[in-house]
Amino acid sequence: MLQLPSIKEAPTSQPHVFAFHITGEVTRTDMEAMADYMNDQFDRFETVNMLMIFDDYEGSEAGAGFSWEALKSRIRSVSKVGKYVVVGAPEPAEKMIEVMGAILPVDAQTFSRDNEHIAWREVGAERTAA
């Protein structure tokens, strides 16, 4: 289980479904670690589903997403992520996710915090005890 200061993995009922709580400010170190972790998962599974839950998100530090691992993970996600579901995304991110979901071969959806239960259903898993 990935447990970083700003990114904490939530246990799921399906091995190919990865859920993360994003809190505070995401650092470059956290983004690199998550990208490295997901690249390992991309090696293990033909496709994965991802659920990102934003809790008290404060943005990301400048350049957090521009490491080699982060870029490699983003490129690989186009062919490795089946469903990308986001809960409570900031408005600019929500708009970008909706646009990218229409362009890329990834089923991207966004939900409000009130509909987190629907988001879990969309990725095909339930949260389990650790």
Domains along the chain with CATH numbers: 7-123 (3.30.750.24)
Sheet holding 107-111, edge to edge: 7-10, 17-26, 48-60, 81-87, 107-111
The pLDDT of residue 103 is above 70: no
Question: Looking at residue 63, what is its pLDDT?
Answer: 66
pTM score, whole prediction: 0.88
pLDDT in tens, 30-59: 999 999 999 999 999 999 999 999 998 876
The pLDDT of residue 122 is above 70: yes
pLDDT band with cut points at 50, 70 and 90 for residue 74: confident
